[in-house]
Amino acid sequence: MNRKIHPRTFAKGGIHPHDSKLTRDVAITQPVEPERVTVLLNQSIGAEPRLLVKAGDPVRKGQMIAEPGGYVSAALHSPVGGTVKSVTSVRDPYGYPSKAIEIIKEGDQEPAALEPLDFETATPAQIVERVAACGIVGLGGATFPTRVKLEPGKEYRPEYVIINGAECEPWLTCDDRLMREHASEVVSGARWLMRAVKVKKCYIGIEENKQEAIAAMTEAASHRSGVTVVPLKKKYPQGGEKQLIQAIIGRQVPSGSLPVYVGAIVDNVATAFAVCEAAEKGLPLTRRVVTVTGPDLANPGNFLTDIGTPVSALIEAAGGLPEDTGKVVAGGPMMGRAMSYLDTPTTKGMSGILVLPSRMSRRPDPQPCIRCGSCVEVCPMGLEPFLIAAQGEMRLWESTLHSGVMDCIECGSCMYTCPAARPLLDYIRLSKRESRKLK
Ligand code: SF4
Ligand code: SF4
């Protein structure tokens, strides 16, 4: 029986940007069925996968085309049946060269599925193995290989699976639609994850601006034991792992520690959906829902997308690039990154494509800091962003470490709120990169 819980939230900081969820009522469709896909080799955190195919090889839809290159790494599978055209270098969404496998779609499109697992008899090791074999990574954007999360080591004892359905980034609605349209599969995925890490309790956190998703997920969860939907207050960054854990189980993940240190395994709703597909249908991760949105797009939507589909084709399906486009962002406006190249493939971690007109793309000129303290007030990690950014600007990397730069979750709340338009996050990201080298 599910208990009704009043919306919860995290304690420190946070902001309330307009949610601009233009596509919240647009059902998932698959408007693009590409004739050619380009699968980037580097799509997850960790080691580069090892190629299993070469130019000229025939591939089945769902066939593994690259195996994990280490423990922290994820396999890749062909999203289509066809022939490998080349293993080549293409530009990734940010303009950097990246190794990729180009596949021309041809012939049979029946997926090469693995044998479905039986929920009653599958062992945790079998579930973890299936998650690895199907190349599942965190689909909320982090792209951390999910199998690694499911094997936290003997010193840790997971107590809860927490499914992240907060989707606190403005504009994005892919998780909302997945919960509304595939609630049963998302809850099933959560149950497979619970079984994999041997826990009896799962919470699914959803922000209160998604009432239909809360209703659908609550209904789906009411038929399964141990799963509870927790409505969350609408506050950014509610979907940050540490913020979500604090809101739901009231525990604070210490600096430098992983969620499992406080007993939590956190996965995104799209990851749970992918786990369900892998376990119950034997399907590897070769597609995902991508929100393609923006104020001037003629046909924004939530598109089920074969991974490797050109971003430009999705923008075309959303009505084409408006004339006055100033910026295209991979992800949401807060944590996403501006793309420099649109003829690039979609990846496992790409939850959204946000097309912004020039009026919304310009950054005001930065002014001197007026020490107003707003950035400190909103920082959900209790940091002093103005200080870290100033230290970063002066290249005092060691000082940024002492100021806690590694605890920054790069949510951008500080920069959003700064009246002097200081490029706080730019300096913080730079400091993190340089401090990592120091460490
Ligand atoms: S980006 Fe980092 S420093 Fe800025 S508010 Fe978020 S956590 Fe704090
Ligand atoms: S919000 Fe901006 S102006 Fe205010 S203290 Fe922080 S950096 Fe300075």
Residue 147: per-residue pLDDT: 96
The domain 31-113+285-360 having CATH identifier 3.10.20.600: the answer here is yes
- pLDDT tens figures, 61-90: 999 999 999 999 999 999 999 999 999 999
CA 439 – ligand 2 centroid, Å:
28
In tens, the pLDDT along 22-47 reads 999 999 999 999 999 999 999 999 99
DSSP 240: S
Superfamily of domain 124-281: NADH-ubiquinone oxidoreductase 51kDa subunit (3.40.50.11540)
Ligand 2 centre to CA of 340 (Å) is 29
Q: Which atom of ligand 2 is nearest to the CA of 386?
A: 7
Rounded to the nearest whole angstrom, what is the distance from the C-alpha of residue 380 to the centroid of ligand 1? 7
Domain ranges of the chain: 31-113+285-360, 124-281, 374-438
Helix, strand counts (H, E) of the chain? 13, 17
Residue written as tokens 């299936």? 130
What per-residue confidence (pLDDT) applies to 5?
56
Round the average pLDDT of the chain to a whole number and report it: 96
- Asked if residue 50 has pLDDT above 80, the reply is yes
Nearest CA to ligand 2 atom 6: 375
HEC profile for 343-368? CCECCCCCCEEEEEEHHHCCCCCCCC
- Within 6 A (CB) of ligand 2 lie 369-375, 386, 418-420, 422, 424
Kindly tell me if the per-residue pLDDT of 1 is higher than 50. no
Mean pLDDT, residues 236-243: 96
Which atom of ligand 2 sits closest to the CA of residue 374?
A: 1
CA–centroid distance, residue 418 to ligand 2 (Å): 5
* Residue 437, pLDDT above cutoff 90: no
Is the pLDDT at 415 greater than 60? The verdict is yes
User: What pTM value is reported for the model?
Assistant: 0.95
Angle at 52 between CA 83 and CA 92, to 5 degrees: 75
How far out from the chain centre does Cα 24 lie? Answer: 18
pLDDT digits (tens, 9 = 90+) for 322-378: 999 999 999 999 999 999 889 999 999 999 999 999 999 988 999 999 999 999 999
Q: Helices in 140-182 by DSSP H: which ranges?
A: 146-149, 174-181
pLDDT at position 409 is 96
Q: Whose CA is nearest to atom 3 of ligand 2?
A: 369
Look at residue 394 in the predicted model and tell me its pLDDT. 97
Centre of ligand 2 from the C-alpha of residue 420, in Å: 6
> Which residue has tokens 């074969």?
306
From atom 4 of ligand 1, which residue's Cα is the shortest distance away? 414
Percent of all residues in the chain with a pLDDT value above 70, rounded to a whole number: 99
CA 299 to each of CA 43, 68, 307, 332, 360: distance values in angstroms, whole numbers, following the listed order:
28, 38, 21, 18, 19
Closest CA to ligand 1's atom 3? 385
Question: Could you report the per-residue pLDDT of 151-202, keeping only the tens digit for each?
Answer: 999 999 999 999 999 999 999 999 999 999 999 999 999 999 999 999 999 9
- Among protein residues, the one with the nearest Cα to ligand 1's atom 7 is 408
pLDDT tens digits, one per residue of 124-153: 999 999 999 999 999 998 899 999 999 999
Closest protein CA for atom 6 of ligand 1: 411
